[in-house]
Amino acid sequence: MVFVQVETRRRPKPPWATIVIVVASVVAFFWLVAAPLDQRMALLARWGTVPAKLFDFSASLTHQLLELRALRLFTALFVHADWLHLTGNLLFLMIFGLPAERALGSRRFLALYLIGGALANLVGALTLSSVNAPIVGSSGAVSTVVGAYLALFPRSRLGLVVPLGLFLEFVKVPAPLLIGFWVLLQLLFTYVGPGFGAVVWWTHIAGFLLGVAFALVSKPSIARRLRN
């Protein structure tokens, strides 16, 4: 009897981190919209990042811990103000997050999303340290994913459906071009943001830069993981 070793290609693991983030964000949103309007606003203030409270050092450490002030940098990532806010963030997460998770690995990707998003919220809170309105949404975390994607796949192309007269045309556009346009918008809105609503654009920019740095530092370990 002869045993022949046949090499099998290992199936890639499902992107469970992206799926968990999407499900958690959707569940949290339905939990919010199920509450009456006044209670909904209280929940946003409770679980969002409130800059004035985060940097209120007059309160005792025990009081700050009981109010989970630092933890709100993370919980704010799963709280969204409306459907447009939620779907916009989740759309970008699915487009850029799935390939980024495959490259980084689910655990490293989840750490990037949570820690990068929390740090981005912290930067946003620093720019608005006296504001009592809460910072909510996963924009900062999604921005870290976009930044990581650009660093990991600088030559990739993204498919777009472009209206040409009466017809729709599917075209592929270099990802750096689209992401570069997105970055320019963030820089522009940083200075004219008050005219476009209460959006913390510095959170987006900080998240993007954190994502780029994280991916560049992680490239050697990513290469080793893919080889194994």
pLDDT tens digits along 177-208: 877 777 776 666 656 544 444 557 788 889 99
Model's pTM, two decimal places?
0.82
Round to whole Å and give the CA distance between 140 and 155: 24
In a domain, 150, yes or no: yes
Amino acid sitting at position 5: Q
- What is the domain count for the chain? 1
Give the model's pLDDT for residue 197.
44
Round to whole Å and give the CA distance between 159 and 151: 19
Give the model's pLDDT for residue 186.
66
Cβ-proximal residues to 108 (8 Å cutoff; 6+ apart), any chain: 218, 221
pLDDT digits 0-9 by tens, 216-228? 888 888 777 666 6
In a domain, 4, yes or no: no
> For residue 134, which phi and psi values (nearest 5 degrees)?
-80, 145
Cβ-proximal residues to 163 (8 Å cutoff; 6+ apart), any chain: 169
Q: How many residues does the chain have?
A: 228
Look up the CATH number of the domain holding residue 190. Answer: 1.20.1540.10
Work out whether the CA dihedral 218, 221, 222, 223 comes out positive or negative: positive
In a domain, 7, yes or no: no
Bridge partners of 163? 168
Q: What are the residue ranges in the chain where pLDDT is below 50?
A: 1-8, 193-197
Give the model's pLDDT for residue 132.
85
Give the model's pLDDT for residue 31.
92
Domain that holds residue 214: 16-227
Give the model's pLDDT for residue 2.
38
Give the model's pLDDT for residue 114.
96
In a domain, 3, yes or no: no
